[in-house]
């Protein structure tokens, strides 16, 4: 069996199984694909593929389905990521345009990707440790309550309410805000805690206690901004594919709920020459995802965060890769603008 024909037969099996969810037999391959050989030859080719562990028989005397190893070889042979159609690109534009708030943008992003792929879409928040402070705001909500707002250059907004301990007049808050802005504007989130420690020494003695409380609140917001988070959409798509999880869909749903498993996996996934990262079945280092595949790519400034999809190993990999990359590029343009 020549290598080109082996790959062609494997490609046909993968495509038919992804489309039909039914084991694929030699007769069906001959009828649906122009492979240029007889049904008997195809049977021999399938036996060779099975011996190599690329396909397997789920039941006695049935057709064959791809194994994780077979999917891996299929994915590795994808030489380019095809562009989306004009209609698909317009759909992404309509769904993602019109918002400058990072939370809203990421929420729209995962909902769009889930619709395009019919899988679970996941996006990491952009890394904030190197993101700079764009603005802070102090707003009086009552005699002693102050709303603290931290706005980062990435568009991320964190806020909290503190008890200032004493009544703070608006002019005093305005003065304190200017002191804080002068000390922290343009600093990275990672450098913020050190700068905040110095601020109480820059204000009059009568305002030191309030400055300490404001600095503590901003420090907590900086810590929250640095925490890795992900946003999910389309979990119902996974539930509808429960027949693709012969053992149980429960572990996959648990991994999605815990999030830390996905975060670690996204961190570990290396991108190929196409800029894509694909982890298939038992390639995943976490047992909870042993029956799932993850397709992801980096996005945003410095490409330090990833977005992608989680679904069964019986996945339309070429179209999924195309959708993931297109949405990532569009999201990157939004964040850069």
Token look-up 């600093």 returns 187
Distance CA 146, CA 161 (A): 6
Task: Give pLDDT, residue 111.
Answer: 94
Residue 100 pLDDT grade (very low, low, confident, very high; cuts 50, 70, 90): low
Q: Report whether pLDDT(295) > 90.
A: yes
Distance CA 205, CA 314 (A): 67
CB 283 within 8 A of CB 238: no
For residue 153, the number of C-alpha atoms closer than 13 Å in the C-beta half-sphere is 16
The DSSP 8-state label assigned to residue 248 in this structure reads: -
Q: What are the angstrom distances between the C-alpha of 200 and each of 147, 177, 206?
A: 18, 12, 10
> What tokens does 39 get?
């049904």
CB 216 within 8 A of CB 204: no
> What tokens does 119 get?
């899988």
Between strands 55-56 and 65-66, the pairing is: antiparallel
pTM here is 0.76
- Nearest Cα residue to 292 out of 262, 335, 322, 323: 262
Q: What are the angstrom distances between the C-alpha of 172 and each of 112, 138, 213?
A: 45, 10, 14
Distance CA 79, CA 15 (A): 16
Q: Report whether pLDDT(299) > 70.
A: yes
Distance CA 175, CA 99 (A): 32
Q: Report whether pLDDT(308) > 70.
A: yes
- Nearest Cα residue to 112 out of 121, 103, 125, 123: 121
φ/ψ (deg, to 5) at 25? -105, 165
Most confident of 102-106, 185-189, 310-314: 310-314
Show me where the domains of the chain are located: 3-76, 86-127+228-336, 133-226
Helices (H) and strands (E) in the chain, counts: 13, 10
Q: What is the mean pLDDT of residues 292-311?
A: 89
CB 54 within 8 A of CB 69: yes
Architecture of domain 86-127+228-336: 2-Layer Sandwich (3.30)
Task: Give pLDDT, residue 61.
Answer: 64
Lowest mean pLDDT of 1-5, 91-95, 285-289, name the range: 1-5
Coil, strand or helix at 83: coil
Q: Report whether pLDDT(60) > 70.
A: no
Lowest mean pLDDT of 66-75, 196-205, 218-227, 311-320, name the range: 218-227
CB 183 within 8 A of CB 201: no
Q: Report whether pLDDT(193) > 90.
A: no
Task: Give pLDDT, residue 174.
Answer: 92
Proportion of the chain above pLDDT 90, given as a percent: 43
133-226 belongs to CATH 3.30.390.10 = yes
Architecture of domain 3-76: Orthogonal Bundle (1.10)
Q: Do domains 86-127+228-336 and 133-226 have the same CATH topology?
A: no
């Amino acid at each position: 069996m020549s290598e080109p024909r082996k790959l062609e037969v494997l490609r046909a099996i993968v495509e038919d199984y992804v489309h039909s969810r039914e084991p694929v037999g030699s007769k069906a391959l001959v009828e649906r694909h122009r492979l240029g050989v007889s049904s008997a030859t195809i049977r021999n080719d399938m036996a060779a593929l099975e011996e190599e562990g690329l396909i397997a028989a789920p039941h006695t005397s049935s057709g064959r389905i791809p194994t994780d190893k077979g999917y891996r070889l299929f994915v590795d042979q994808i030489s380019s990521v095809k562009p989306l159609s004009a209609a698909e690109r317009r759909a992404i534009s309509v769904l993602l345009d019109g918002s400058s708030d990072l939370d809203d943008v990421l929420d729209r992003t995962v909902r769009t990707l889930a619709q395009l792929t019919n899988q679970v879409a996941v996006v990491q928040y952009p890394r904030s440790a190197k993101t700079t402070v764009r603005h802070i705001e102090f707003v009086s909500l009552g005699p002693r309550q102050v709303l603290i707002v931290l706005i980062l250059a990435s568009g991320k907004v964190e806020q909290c309410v503190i008890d200032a301990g004493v009544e703070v007049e608006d002019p005093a808050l305005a003065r304190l805000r200017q002191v804080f802005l002068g000390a922290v504007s343009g600093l990275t989130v990672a450098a913020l805690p050190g700068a905040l420690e110095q601020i109480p020494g820059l204000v009059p003695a009568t305002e030191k206690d309030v400055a300490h409380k404001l600095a503590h609140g901003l420090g907590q917001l900086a810590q929250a901004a640095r925490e890795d988070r992900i946003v999910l959409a389309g979990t119902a798509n996974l539930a509808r594919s429960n027949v693709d999880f012969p053992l149980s869909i429960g572990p996959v749903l648990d991994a999605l709920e815990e999030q830390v498993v996905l975060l670690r996996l996204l961190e570990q996934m290396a991108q190929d020459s196409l800029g894509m990262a694909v982890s298939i079945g038992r390639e995943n280092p976490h047992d909870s995802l042993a029956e799932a595949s993850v397709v992801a790519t980096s996005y945003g400034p410095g490409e330090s965060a990833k977005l992608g999809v989680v679904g069964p190993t019986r996945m339309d990999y070429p179209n999924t890769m195309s959708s993931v990359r297109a949405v990532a590029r569009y999201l990157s343009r939004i964040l850069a603008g």
